[in-house]
Amino acid sequence: MLLTSGTGPASGWLRPRRRPSTYALKDGNNTILLDAGSPEAVMDVIEIFGRPKCALISHAHADHWSGLNVLRWKGLKVYSHEDTFAHPYFKEIVDAPFDLELNAIEYFKPINVCGFEVVAFPLKHSIPTAGFLINGKVAYLLDTKGLPEETFKYLKGRVEYIIVDSALPEGVKGPHNSFKEAVDLSLDLEVKKAFLVHLLPMIDMDEVLDYAESKGLDAVIPYDGHTYKV
């Protein structure tokens, strides 16, 4: 079960409500966070799914980890690539983790994280960023502008669902996918369903979904609080 608790960019959206990147997967009694960009969104995860014991953090931008403060005294196990822990933006957590347990993971090496099989891989962003494949079928691709070749080859034909950075309107430059690039990437990876997230507020959601439909992609733009079976 996927819970989309924070589906927005760093700025968030007020209406419809979209807080910074915070997602959770639940399998039986196991719950794992995929980023923790909003303290409020993390509290919603706890209320709906129960307190997670583990979190995967993609990179050191605060809109992907500031919600860790809610669990800083709860013994949460935090996993990311060593580049995240070494980045100055993450220094606040590294210098004072309190009860957080920080665990560096290697790219393309499967590990067990709180009952989930996780494989990390590099993405393409303005700072070092990791994506994650969970249980061999759900890929988390935030934040990124396309994919490194080795990551694309690893995921193609392997992943069923993606949560994918779709931040930018067409023609706007930046270290994020445009929504058209996100749709095209989903098709190239041959996914079953794409969750288009991290959209900036100026994007017309109908235009995004119309483009996905025209390309034959099963895609949704989730709101905060939506749950999906994956």
pLDDT score of 15: 85
- pLDDT tens across 121-177, in order? 999 999 999 999 999 999 999 999 999 999 999 999 999 999 999 999 999 999 999
- Structurally, the chain folds into a number of domains equal to 1
- pLDDT tens across 177-208, in order? 999 999 999 999 999 999 999 999 999 999 99
pLDDT score of 17: 87
Residue 93 belongs to a domain with what CATH number? 3.60.15.10
Domain that holds residue 72: 2-228
What does pTM read for this prediction?
0.97
pLDDT score of 45: 97
CB 200 within 8 A of CB 226: no
What does residue 10 show for φ and ψ, rounded to 5 degrees?
-60, -35
Closest CA to 97 of 80, 109, 112: 80
Mean pLDDT of 46-67: 97
Q: Which residue has the tokens 């070749």?
A: 149
